[in-house]
Structures are given as C-alpha cells and as structure tokens.
Chains A and B, each alone.
Chain A
C-alpha cells in the first residue's frame, strides 16, 4: 500500500540508473540520514554515542571493506584486523612525525598505507584461491601485528607497544566530545558507503563480480585478472585502514597491536556473513547485529536478574549471554543463509503487495 512504485515513471536513463530508483526508498534514506545526523546527536546520551553508535559505524566500515573483497570480488580474507592495524599505526605516525598534518589527511594516508600493504598481501591471490588464499591472508594477520610490536619506531618506542591517539582537530575545531566524534565518524562512513555503492555498480565493480563468479570466463571476455584482484585488495584494505584509524582515534583513543588480533578479523568476517555477502547494506546490518546484540543481551539479562530476583551470579549472566548470542547466529543463518540483507529484501518484496498479496 505504502511501498508501491505504481505511477512513478522514469523518463531518462539517469532516473533509471539512480541509486534509489523508488521514491519511497529515497524518502526513507533522507529520513534515516536526518535521524543519524540531526536526531541522534540531539537526543542520544553520551553512552549511546561513544559505546554503541561509534563502534557500530567503525565496524560497519570495516565490514564494508571486507565485503568489497569477499562479497564482490570473491577473495576470502582473514587479515582484516591487520589492515586495520596498518591504518591506525600509519595515521598515528603521520600525525606524530609530520608537523601540522591535518588529521583528515592522516586518515586518508593511513588508509592508503593499508591499501599498499593490502596489494602486497593480495599478490598470492593470483595463484591461489578459496581457503588457500584465506591461509595466505592469515600470514598478514600474524605478520603485521608482530612487525608493529617488533619495530619500536611504529609505536614511538612506547614501553608497552600501545599507541595513544592524538586529539582530533579539524580547521581549529576540536573533535573531543562524543557528539562531535560521532558526527565525524558518521560523515566519513556515509561518504565512503556512498562511494562503495557507486563503485560496485561501476565497471570495476562489474569486473569484480565477474571474477568472483568465474575467473576463467572473466579472463576470456577481456577482464584483466591481475588488475581486478589487486584493485579489490587495495580498495578493501583502504576501507579497513580507515576503519582502523577511526577505531583508534574516535573510539578507543589508544590501541595496542595485540588488539588487532585474529578474533577481530573473525568478528568482521562474521558481520559480513550474518549481514549478507555481497551487499553494502548487509555490512551495516551485520555490524549492528554483532556489536549491538551482545550488549543488549547483557543489559536484558542483568535486568531480568534484578527484576525477577533470579539470583544468578555475574559469571552466569555473562556465560548465558554468550550462549544466547551463539544460538541467535545459528538461528539467523538457518532462517536466511544469505544474511540479514536478504531478509530485508524479502520484506520489501512482501511490502509491495501488502495488504493484498495474490
């Protein structure tokens, strides 16, 4: 009833190729952006901004990066956290060693450094595929944090290997409150998501998907495999590097190389799988699921414990939270193996016919 495109005529190629061809979707997106940019900063508490929304956005960006590589170009990677580490450490060093370096430029350079490292570790993808490639990227996951720890220069010879992010200042404005940090992260993530959405619809994106679906066929129709795979690695690592820089600068404030471990890579991979492989929106849904559900479960269980006087020890609630969360992941994967993004798509299709399905 509300979600029906009857009567919306497209009179130009431009209109037909628009990102959001249906008017309701466009309005929906405007409302969503308005809520994110205006509503949330006005009404959300500091806890919400720093502990929930900023990590959600940062992880969305990282998941988006991995989704470009795994979902669109079909190259399985377990080195996401390592590329995030490169982004964070490179940003830190650009800020530290180049006087008067604008922080946004440092973020970009951090992302580019990660892209360079990504290309390097993407080289084996030309010869090996699938699980074997995953093992090769695993090398990045172990090598990079080790290198950052081993070479003291990267952390400015900090005794514990921890890097502490410098304060963020853009054009004289200090981004020190949770709200400002949130807006900064939101703006960066929004722009980068828009870029990614356009990129996967472009020639490059189509080449990625062709390589993903069948690389021999792609090669036959004239797609250069080398260049396509390496651009996927570069773009993906660039996104992950930016996410790593934001993770350090806008979220945690200080990071140790050890924090970018295999667990984090797996978490991001799970976000992609739960959210939807090969879907920009899926990256956001997956990040929301993996970062937010454990927090809600913990709060809900603590609440239930207090409200019904269950007298469960703190250990029991923490354990049961992990159990329930694991169960939920399995539940969603059984319900829809193609991820939450696919569920959303099905919901939209049903909504078009609602309330009178055939």
Chain B
C-alpha cells in the first residue's frame, strides 16, 4: 500500500471514529423538535423533494411569522431514507431519541416504511401521520391508536375513482372493463380488496396488472391492456412509473381521458415528464394546487423573501402544497396538545392526543390561510381518517384544473372492511381494541 493510501485510510478511520462519538449536533433546547424522514434521491426523489420542501417551508413560516407555536420555536432534522424500508427504520431510530420530547410525529411518506414503523410506534410512543397513504385499516384508532391515515386513505381514493368513472359512464358500470395498473409494492396492493368488492357490487370486470419497481419499462403491461380493451384504466403509479404509463399509453393508442390516477400519480412531476402524452388525463387529488392561497403568499413573503425558502420552482405545485398541509396538521396537533398540557414542547404521547382531538373546520382553515386547499378535518378515537373526500382534476396541458367537486367514495363499504381488517390484525397481534386516555 502506498503512503497516500495509508494516509487516506487513516483519515477515514479517524473521521469514522469521530462521527461515532458525536452523533449529530444537539438540537436547541426548549424547541419543538420535528423528525423528518425525507427522500430526495432515487427514483422517487423528485416527488419527495417537492413534498418535504413544502413541509420545511411551512415550519419556517411558523418560526418566522408567528415566532413558533405559542412562542415555542420549531426545530427539525431531515434524514434521507431513499424510499427504502430498511433505511427508513434506521432514520427513525436515529431521530427518535433526539431531544427529550422525541420527533413529535413522523410522516413516513412511504407505505412500506409505514408498515415497518407501525409496530415500533406504540412502544416508542411516537404517532405516525400518514396523509393519503399507508395502512388503510389503521383508520380504526381503537386497534391502531398511534397511526393516523388522515384526510383520505387508499380505499377512499379507490372507491372515489370508481364513483368518478361511474359518473362519467352516466351511472352504470355493468359489464364495463376496468384495469388497475399498479406499482408492485405494498402501496400498489393496498386498494385491491376494496376494488374487488366494488367490482362484485357494481358488476364491472376488473383486471389487475402489476408494474415492477421502478416502472420505467411498461411495454408488456400495455400490450396486455391493448389486448384486453378496457373502458378505463386506473393508474396506481408513483414516481417515474406514472409518466411512463402516460407516454406508453399514447404509444399504444389508449385514450388518456379514459385514465384516472390516484393522487400520488397526479402531480406536475408526472404529467410534465410525459409531455403532450399527458393531456386529458384525470387524477384524484387530496389538495388543490396553485399559489392562490393566503398561506402560500405568506410563505413567499416571510420565508422566500428572507432567503430561507427551499426551492421557488416548487411553490404551488401539488406535492409542495401537500407538504404544506401535512406540516400544518402536525403544527395544529401540537397546538391542540399545548392547550391541554401547557405551553411547552410536547412529547409524542401528548401530540398523539392532540392529533386524535384535532378539529379543523372551514373557519379554522380560512384563519390558517388554507381556504379550500384541503377539506376540513375532524378526528376521534374511532375514526383516525377524517372526511375521506377526494376531488378530481384534469391535466389540460399546462396545469391541473378541477374536474369535480369534493366527493366521497363508498364510505359504508370502507368502514365495514376497515373494521373487519383491523379486527383480524388485532386478533393476530393479540391487541385489545380500545381508546387511549389523554
């Protein structure tokens, strides 16, 4: 070994050793610390970057405009998960012991990571907020007290899409053929049971076609679709898969205005990458895009004007706005918890109570500057989900335009299936269902 190589090896060993002794900077005392499991690299990096930039921009806004939550400043640390379950668990373990109050609440932003954390969260007393993804049956808060699939879950999305298609088909799906083109992962499999139930109930024919991760090659899947000749295609895509589906659809000549995506396949990142192929494509949405909200203007004024913003290009995009909303729900949960436990940094356990007792009505949304960006949210022990409302938008070549009002899917069917599925989980895990006290 040459001398310089030895020197380099020694240097590596020393820096390695130092990082062991001193694991990351201590967070400022007296702040409300937020642990963020983010991802900005890999096939889903572009989606993650938009969401997490929005989230951090909102936290900055609270610090800059309001001086924190009731005077308690926010601090945060982001850990890169690469959308990989094992790395997600490592990040969670790293952040969970930061500060005496822990990471407040975790947004895993990945259905796979959510599954990995569901069993750890109760032991560590850290709530998980899964905004529009994750495990659907966790809506039953009596079995999953620590998990909050807020706003709408995948079954709301799936039945909402079916309802939307039903509306487009003038109220009859009998004999129609629908394809579910899905990302072959926990995420893509989540809607399948409810779609099967819907198919049996409404009399349409359902064919499910998986696309392996990351989904940038879909020739054979679209060949299958062409042979099957479906009336509609439901696109359950994520990251590069969604744009590829749209451009391959154009290649095989499937009309894009007969394709409906779930909300994770409905951002500018997906449609812009597909170019003109995306025109006419519908997607469900949890939140509206655009800059036409007071809170976005505030972020531009208090955060970006001061040079603290993440990336001005992302402001007002679908996922950036969703990140903003996700951060808002956490902040409001902390505020609710402060109302009960006093104006100091609250722990994960106290935040959990705050989330469960969230009640954000339209009035409060207007006060917060969100207006109609997201629907109101009211949670309880039995219902960790919320309204379940979705709204459809259509890509018109340059931007998303609303194609429907807020609407909900088959709530009765979902609730029945949620309780069945949660009951099965409780039995498998020996959990006695019940509400947690304060």
Contact = CB atoms under 8 A, between A and B. Distances in A.
A313 interface: yes
Given A160-B190, A164-B119, A318-B80, A296 B20 contact: yes
**Could you say which interface size class chain A belongs to?**
35 or more
Contact of A47 (B8, B78, B94): B94
Nearest to B77: A302
Interface string A167-183: 00000000010000000
A259 B187 CA distance: 12
Given A156-B428, A159-B189, A252-B85, A259 B80 contact: no
B38 interface: yes
B350 to A, nearest CB: 21
Contacts of A164: 115, 118-119, 425, 428-429
**Secondary structure at chain B's binding surface: helix, strand, loop or mixed?**
helix
A254 B116 contact: yes
A298 B84 CA distance: 15
A259 B112 contact: yes
A51 B90 contact: yes
A54 B307 CA distance: 42
A315 B25 contact: no
Q: Which of A258, A296, A298 has the most CB of B within 10 A?
A: A258
B14 to A, nearest CB: 11
A322 interface: yes
Contact of B19 (A259, A296, A306): A296
Contact of B89 (A96, A165, A251, A313): A251
A317 B38 CA distance: 12
A19 interface: no
A291 to B, nearest CB: 9
A261 B115 contact: no
A55 B24 contact: no
B329 to A, nearest CB: 21
Contact of A318 (B15, B77, B82): B82
A314 B90 contact: no
A299 B89 contact: no
A303 interface: yes
A240 to B, nearest CB: 16
B179 to A, nearest CB: 18
B189 A160 contact: yes
Given A160-B135, A164-B429, A296-B20, A314 B116 contact: no
A299 B19 contact: yes
A296 B19 CA distance: 7
B97 A296 contact: no
A204 B39 CA distance: 46
A261 B22 CA distance: 34
B213 A51 contact: no
A215 interface: no
Interface string B74-100: 000111101001100110011011000
Contacts of B137: 159
Contacts of A303: 19, 22, 24-25
Nearest to B36: A314
Interface in B98-132: 111-112, 115-116, 118-120, 123
Which of A52, A149, A299, A331 counts the most B-chain CB atoms under 10 A from its CB? A299
Output the residue of B80, B213, B425 with the most chain A CB within 10 A.
B80
A195 interface: no
Interface string B14-33: 01101110111100000000
B41 A50 contact: no
B24 A302 contact: yes
Contact of A160 (B23, B77, B89, B111): B111
B424 to A, nearest CB: 9
A255 B185 CA distance: 11
B16 A162 contact: no
A158 B96 CA distance: 28
Contacts of A261: 213
Contact of B93 (A47, A296, A300, A317): A47
A45 interface: yes
B116 A258 contact: no
B136 interface: yes
A318 B79 CA distance: 9
A161 interface: yes
Interface of A: 45-47, 50-52, 55, 96, 149, 156, 159-162, 164-166, 176, 251-256, 258-259, 261, 293, 295-296, 298-300, 302-303, 306-307, 313-315, 317-319, 321-322, 328, 331, 335-336
